[in-house]
């Protein structure tokens, strides 16, 4: 018997993958969590039926949510991740030797627990044994409300703006992020597909611009997300992602990347016209 899983991207379109077995399926206080084995993409984690990560293409998302900001900020010592319970974002942050502490604030402890169990290539740094990583199982909004002038970089590694992540796309949240950042702080947030999510992007970028003086969108190719054409928001107090990019530090990095490189750091900010139009002021 063939077992195919489909994430619906609209009423009429979806992505379908052949799966071989279910490793975990259960409901937390917040959402439905499933981890399945696929034939093409390795293990895949779903939240409320939406693809969060697959072992085969997660490197793209995780390199791109981390390295552009970390190679733009002049001295990133303290980094906060909101969401990101699979640990992939923390893994990439740990490759930067100047980072002294990374805090992971994930609302759902079950996501952390099952990622450690079934997605070890992502979750190795969030198992409680890395002294440079601190875990908080808490609502990102509640946590950030208590932080002032604390972080160099804040990465919002959220799900889509339905379910527990809705508040992470709102202006009030961005104001709290702004306050939690230091004077030269940078925030990155995953910002959906320019192809399918024009309305969400329009609202999100308007909210960001109401709070941050510098707001840019950049793109990445992520085959298992809706349309494969995905985006991130770069929002910052003083640093510009291209003008302040530390090309030298990026070129001399002592770790390998499979998607990110110096040319792409700049190229990712070049957008097709329809994507620009989504977020036009």
Q: How far is the CB of 151 from ligand AG3 (least distance, A)?
A: 18
Residues 91-120 binding ligand AG3 (CB under 6 A) are none
Cβ closest to ligand AG3, residue 226 vs residue 241: 226
Contact call for residue 53 and ligand AG3 (CB under 6 A): yes
Scanning 81-89, 98-106, 130-138, 171-179 for contacts with ligand AG3 by CB under 6 A, the matching segment is 81-89
Cβ closest to ligand AG3, residue 58 vs residue 216: 58
Scanning 51-59, 90-98, 238-246, 256-264 for contacts with ligand AG3 by CB under 6 A, the matching segment is 51-59
Cβ closest to ligand AG3, residue 9 vs residue 202: 9
Contact call for residue 268 and ligand AG3 (CB under 6 A): no
List 34, 57, 125, 157, catalytic entry: 157
DSSP annotation of 181: E
157 an active-site residue? yes
Binding mask 132-171 for ligand AG3 (x = CB under 6 A): -------------------------x-xx-----------
Residue 89's nearest CA partner among 73, 105, 113 is 105
Contact call for residue 51 and ligand AG3 (CB under 6 A): yes
3-state secondary structure of 61: helix
The residue ranges that bind ligand AG3 (CB under 6 A) are 7, 50-53, 61, 84, 86, 88-89, 157, 159-160, 190, 225-226
Question: Active-site residue numbers?
Answer: 157
């Amino acid at each position: 018997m063939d077992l195919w899983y489909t994430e619906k991207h609209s009423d009429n379109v979806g992505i379908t993958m052949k799966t071989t077995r279910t490793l975990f399926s259960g409901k937390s206080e917040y959402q439905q969590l499933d981890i399945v084995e696929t034939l093409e993409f390795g293990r895949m984690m779903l939240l409320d039926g939406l693809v969060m990560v697959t072992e085969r293409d997660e490197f793209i998302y995780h390199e791109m949510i981390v390295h552009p900001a970390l190679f733009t900020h002049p001295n990133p010592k303290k980094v906060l991740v909101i969401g990101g319970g699979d640990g992939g974002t923390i893994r990439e942050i740990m490759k930067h030797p100047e980072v002294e502490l990374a805090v992971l604030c994930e609302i759902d402890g079950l996501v952390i627990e099952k990622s450690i169990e079934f997605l070890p290539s992502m979750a190795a740094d969030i198992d409680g044994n890395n002294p440079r990583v601190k875990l908080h199982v808490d609502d990102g909004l509640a946590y950030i409300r208590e932080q002032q002038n604390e972080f160099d970089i804040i990465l919002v590694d959220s799900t889509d703006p339905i379910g527990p992540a809705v508040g992470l796309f709102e202006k009030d949240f961005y104001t709290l992020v702004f306050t939690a950042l230091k004077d030269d702080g940078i925030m990155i947030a995953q910002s959906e597909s320019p192809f399918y999510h024009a309305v969400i992007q329009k609202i999100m970028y308007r909210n960001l611009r109401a709070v941050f003086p510098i707001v840019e969108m950049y793109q990445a190719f992520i085959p298992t997300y809706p349309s494969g054409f995905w985006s991130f928001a770069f929002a910052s107090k003083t640093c510009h992602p291209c003008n302040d990019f530390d090309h030298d530090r990026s070129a001399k990095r002592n770790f390998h990347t499979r998607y990110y490189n110096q040319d792409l750091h700049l190229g990712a900010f070049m957008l097709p016209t329809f994507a620009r139009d989504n977020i036009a002021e």
